Structures are given as structure tokens and as C-alpha cells.
């Protein structure tokens, strides 16, 4: 019975437990029970090519029916065992909540054990219709998840339920002679081969999560695409405010660096400085240019999936590029004079440069595009920017799945302590800012604490962020005898850092989004280079 009811099906009803079981099974030997055909199939380590070979063998010789000559009682036992397992999974409270409200025992999964027993007695319980009703229920659950937010655990259990339904149907088909033994043997080998791979489990359960994260990220990215002259100008002034705030962030960074702090405390201090600054930008409606590429790439992937015409695709890409240019200009062109003004004001009050000459020389040398590790560090920072966009998308999905804004607005204690009006406004703040704050918190932790973590391992890894380093360049330039050559190379380094930050994060986000959506990202974009050369102002200037 274990061969029919267990082989090729996950052992556990939990995604994490199943993943851990597969991981342990790969590296730790186990003693299989004797006289267990399912364990024997597992030890043979067959793959999908073996299943294809079995399917290609001549049909009708009866050999496989003899090899699978499991007693009829055991076959019916397997069907009933699978029916009970499917009913237990399908009647779980969280799965019952994924769809229209109904009486729990009206679910088609509740009727599976009784229907299997009736089928065993030779009665006609409408078996195929019942399986179809169960599949309709599963499709409804997946549709509910896609609309309201994805849970990896629930996606895994929906897939597990579907696998149980498929296996029950095939065993019944074998018993009633509609499926020959050879085809069923090939199916057992194929499902067992797939069940052995951890990558298959992870890919199957995370597919909808990846897509949902990308969709939430893409919705955020739409706000960064300027479609009119007013939005184009607003992008610049929003980024200008972000650049001015970044000047203070860089100032506090050097102030923290001048204090003799333990590495752990210093790393947490740098992370807190970045995080507070970024979160303030979120609530003040300011823009950090480096955040845009990963967000707008997800929007572009959505456009590719929607099969827009070439002109509409070019308009979208033009909106992305012109918005990125304005955001970068607003950040860099404002943060440099703002930081320089802060440094000169300090010199006027204190009588000395804010950054001591040795630190300034080290920082300026670290910005040289060719005589330092600026390019690899800028590429690493681009990866961190992409990771923070994934965190923001995941937070948006989690908030939607938990219905967090509505939960906050209707929370009994919050309404009692703060009043209904304040609680509802707080729910609105959660809806507007939760995912953005989550992404910025992750970015602040990565930029601030990652160099300290690498320093613990003896690796001098740093980050290179275009706006932060532009402000640092201005603070370090305010010396008694400015090193003009180093400043010039530092400006070139800022340009290189910007290209690496934006290019890497955009590439990774576009690749992730196109894979999650199942579209080809590069092919429809091949002709955009010619369109840019033909009319570059369309991609760089204001909307016409």
C-alpha cells in the first residue's frame, strides 16, 4: 500500500518540514524499513529519464501489471488512505478560508472518504465529479491567494492536495482497468524522481510568491515613471529633497566614524543613521534615485507580459529613463552643494574642516574609479538595492495577505486607546508606507552593517552608493588645500558608481520579474537602442 499511497508524494503537510527532510535525506544516511516497495523505489535513485524509458516500452504485454500485482484490497486501502489524508488537508481552517464562506462539511473534501468507501463497495458515488469539485475548490483557493496575497505554506499544501487527487484518480483507474500498469509505473518513477529534488519543491512552492512580490514591486515602480511634465518636474524636486536629506546622513556618518565605538555598536549606529534617513524620505514623500531601478524594472516586466505594442513599450521605457535621469540629477546636484554648505558652515564655526585631512584623503582615494575597488563595491551595492526591493515587495504581499491595514484600523485596543479616527488614519499610513518602510529598513541595515560584518571576517568590503558618496565627496572636498585632482577623479567615480548601482539593480530586478511572470525580457527590448539613437531627447527630456 505504501508504494501506491506514499511513493512520489511529499511526506509532510508543511513546506518547511518537507524541505528540511529532503535536505537531511541528501546528506544523512537512513535505514529504510524492510519489505517496503516505496523504500526500494527510493533507494534505486531513478530519474525522469528512466520514467521516459518505461513509457517507451511496448505496451500490452502484461509485464507491468504482474510487477505491480498489489492485492486488490491493498489498492483500495491506498485509495481510502489518500482520501482521508486529502480530507484532513482540505478541511484545515486556513484553507477553508480561501474562498466563499460555506458550511465546513459542505466542502467536497469532506465527502472524499465516504465516496472512496462507496466506490470500494461497487457503488457509484459520482467519483469523477467529486474529484473535479475538489480541483475547482483548489483553483478558487489559488485565485484567492493571488488576489489577496500569497502564503508559501498554503501554496505548498494546495499543490500537495492536487497531488493526492491525481494519485487517487490514477490508482482507481488502474483498479478499474482504464490505466495499464506500464503507464502507472512510469508515473510512480517520475513523481518519485521529482519528489527527491529540493529545487523542485522550492521552485514549485515559491513560484506564486515570486510573482506576487514582483507585482507589488511593479505597482510601486509605476509611481516613479513620469508621464507628464508636471510629474517630471515633481520627480526632480522630490529627489532634490532626498538629496538635501542625504547630505545630513553623510554628515552623521562621518560624525559616527570619528567616535571610538566598538565594531558592533558602530555598525548598528551606521545602520540606524541610514535607516532613519531613508524612512524619513518615505514619510516626507522624498525620492532616493537608487531605489527606482529595481521598482521600475518590475513595471517594465509587467508591460512585457501584457504584450504592449512597440510604441507603448517605447513610451514606458522613455518614462523610466527620463524619470531616472531627473531623480539622479535631483539627488546628486542638490546633495553636493548641500553637503558642501554644511562643511563650510562647520569650518566657519569650528575653524577646522569637518572631516580631518587623513580621512578625507582616504575617502577621496576610495572614490577613484580605477585605483580603488569602487566598481566591485558599486556592483555589490546594486545587488543590495535589488535585495531591498524584494524585501519591499515581500512586505507588501505579507501586508495584503494579513490584511494589515484593515486589521490596524479595526483593532479593538487601538480604537480604545487612540480613538476610531486615529486608528483608521493609522491603518491608512500602514497601507501607504508599510512596504516602503520595510524596504528602506532592509537597505539601511545592509548598507550600514554589512561592511562591519565583513570586517569581522577580515574582509575590507565597503559599499558605494551614488547619492551617499556624492555627499561624502563634498564633505571631504572642504579642505584648507583642496586636492582638485582627487576631487575630479571622485566626480568621475560618482558617475561610475551611479551606472553600476542603477545598471545592476535594474538588470537583476528585470531578470527576476521576467522569470516570475514567465516572459522573455530581452527580445522585445532589442529595438530600443535604435529608437534611442534616433530620438535621444524622447528618453532623456521632459514628456512632450
Each residue of 433-458: pLDDT tens digit? 898 899 999 999 999 999 888 888 88
**Rounded to whole angstroms, how far apart are CA atoms 252 and 272?**
11
**Rounded to whole angstroms, how far apart are CA atoms 182 and 57?**
8
Instruction: Calculate the average pLDDT of the chain.
Output: 81
pLDDT digits (tens, 9 = 90+) for 36-61: 666 666 666 777 777 777 777 776 55
Q: Report CA-CA distances (Å) from 420 to 400, 412, 413, 415, 429.
A: 22, 9, 10, 5, 14
- Confidence bin at 340 (pLDDT 50/70/90): very high
Residue 423 has pLDDT above 80, yes or no: yes
HEC string of 451-476 equals HHHHHHCCCCCCCCCHHHHHHHHHHH
Cβ atoms of 72 and 65 closer than 8 Å: no
Percentage of the chain with pLDDT > 70? 81
Give the predicted TM-score (pTM) of the model. Answer: 0.79
pLDDT digits (tens, 9 = 90+) for 258-308: 888 888 888 899 999 999 999 999 999 898 888 777 677 666 666 666 655
**Rounded to whole angstroms, how far apart are CA atoms 75 and 176?**
11
Which of 225, 485, 243 has the alpha carbon at shortest distance from 341? 243
% helix / strand / coil in the chain, to the nearest 5? Answer: 80, 0, 20
Cβ atoms of 373 and 492 closer than 8 Å: no
Give pLDDT, residue 54.
73
**Rounded to whole angstroms, how far apart are CA atoms 479 and 362?**
13
**Rounded to whole angstroms, how far apart are CA atoms 466 and 498?**
5
Residue 497 has pLDDT above 90, yes or no: yes
Give pLDDT, residue 65.
55
Amino acid at each position: 500500500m505504501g508504494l501506491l499511497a506514499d511513493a512520489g508524494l511529499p511526506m509532510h503537510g508543511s513546506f518547511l518540514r518537507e524541505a528540511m527532510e529532503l535536505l537531511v535525506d541528501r546528506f544523512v544516511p537512513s535505514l529504510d524499513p524492510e519489505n517496503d516497495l516505496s523504500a526500494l523505489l527510493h533507494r534505486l535513485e531513478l530519474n525522469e529519464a528512466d520514467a521516459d524509458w518505461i513509457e517507451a516500452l511496448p505496451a500490452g504485454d502484461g509485464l507491468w501489471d504482474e510487477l505491480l500485482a498489489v492485492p486488490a484490497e491493498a489498492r483500495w486501502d491506498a485509495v481510502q488512505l489518500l482520501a482521508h489524508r486529502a480530507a484532513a488537508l482540505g478541511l484545515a481552517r486556513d484553507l477553508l478560508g480561501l474562498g466563499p464562506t460555506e458550511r465546513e462539511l459542505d466542502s467536497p473534501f469532506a465527502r472524499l472518504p465516504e465516496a472512496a468507501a462507496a466506490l470500494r463497495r461497487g457503488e457509484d458515488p459520482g467519483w469523477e465529479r467529486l474529484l473535479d469539485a475538489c480541483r475547482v475548490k483548489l483553483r478558487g483557493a489559488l485565485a484567492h491567494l493571488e488576489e489577496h496575497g500569497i502564503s508559501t505554506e498554503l501554496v505548498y499544501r494546495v499543490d500537495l492536495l492536487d497531488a493526492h487527487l491525481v494519485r487517487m484518480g490514477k490508482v482507481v483507474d488502474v483498479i478499474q482497468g482504464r490505466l495499464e500498469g506500464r503507464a502507472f509505473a512510469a508515473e510512480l518513477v517520475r513523481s518519485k524522481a521529482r519528489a527527491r529534488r529540493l529545487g523542485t519543491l522550492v521552485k514549485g512552492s515559491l513560484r506564486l510568491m515570486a510573482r506576487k512580490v514582483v507585482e507589488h514591486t511593479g505597482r510601486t515602480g509605476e509611481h516613479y515613471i513620469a508621464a507628464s511634465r508636471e510629474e517630471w518636474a515633481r520627480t526632480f524636486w522630490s529627489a532634490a529633497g532626498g538629496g538635501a536629506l542625504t547630505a545630513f546622513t553623510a554628515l552623521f556618518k562621518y560624525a559616527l566614524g570619528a567616535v571610538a565605538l566598538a565594531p558592533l555598536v558602530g555598525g548598528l549606529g551606521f545602520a540606524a543613521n541610514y535607516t532613519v534617513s531613508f524612512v524619513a524620505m518615505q514619510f516626507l514623500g522624498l525620492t532616493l534615485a537608487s531605489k527606482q531601478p529595481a521598482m521600475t524594472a518590475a513595471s517594465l516586466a509587467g508591460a512585457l507580459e501584457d504584450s504592449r505594442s512597440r510604441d507603448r513599450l517605447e513610451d514606458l521605457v522613455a518614462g523610466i529613463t527620463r524619470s531616472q535621469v531627473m531623480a539622479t540629477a535631483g539627488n546628486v546636484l542638490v546633495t553636493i552643494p548641500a553637503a558642501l554648505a554644511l562643511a563650510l558652515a562647520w569650518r566657519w564655526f569650528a575653524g577646522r574642516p569637518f572631516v580631518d585631512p587623513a580621512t578625507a584623503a582616504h575617502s577621496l582615494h576610495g572614490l577613484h574609479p580605477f585605483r580603488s575597488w569602487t566598481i566591485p563595491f558599486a556592483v555589490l551595492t546594486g545587488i543590495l538595492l535589488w535585495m531591498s526591493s524584494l524585501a519591499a515587495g515581500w512586505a507588501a504581499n505579507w501586508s495584503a495577505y494579513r490584511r494589515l491595514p484593515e486589521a490596524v484600523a479595526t483593532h479593538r485596543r487601538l480604537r480604545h486607546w487612540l480613538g476610531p479616527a486615529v486608528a483608521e488614519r493609522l491603518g491608512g499610513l500602514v497601507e501607504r508606507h508599510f512596504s516602503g518602510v520595510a524596504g528602506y529598513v532592509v537597505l539601511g541595515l545592509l548598507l550600514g552593517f554589512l561592511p562591519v560584518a565583513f570586517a569581522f571576517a577580515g574582509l575590507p568590503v565597503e559599499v558605494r552608493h551614488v547619492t551617499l558618496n556624492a555627499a561624502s565627496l563634498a564633505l571631504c572636498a572642504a579642505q584648507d588645500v583642496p586636492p582638485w585632482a582627487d576631487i575630479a577623479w571622485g566626480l568621475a567615480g560618482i558617475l561610475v558608481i551611479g551606472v553600476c548601482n542603477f545598471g545592476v539593480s535594474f538588470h537583476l530586478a528585470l531578470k527576476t520579474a521576467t522569470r516570475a511572470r514567465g516572459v522573455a525580457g530581452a527580445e522585445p527590448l532589442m529595438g530600443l537602442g535604435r529608437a534611442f539613437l534616433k530620438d535621444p531627447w524622447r528618453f532623456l527630456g521632459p514628456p512632450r
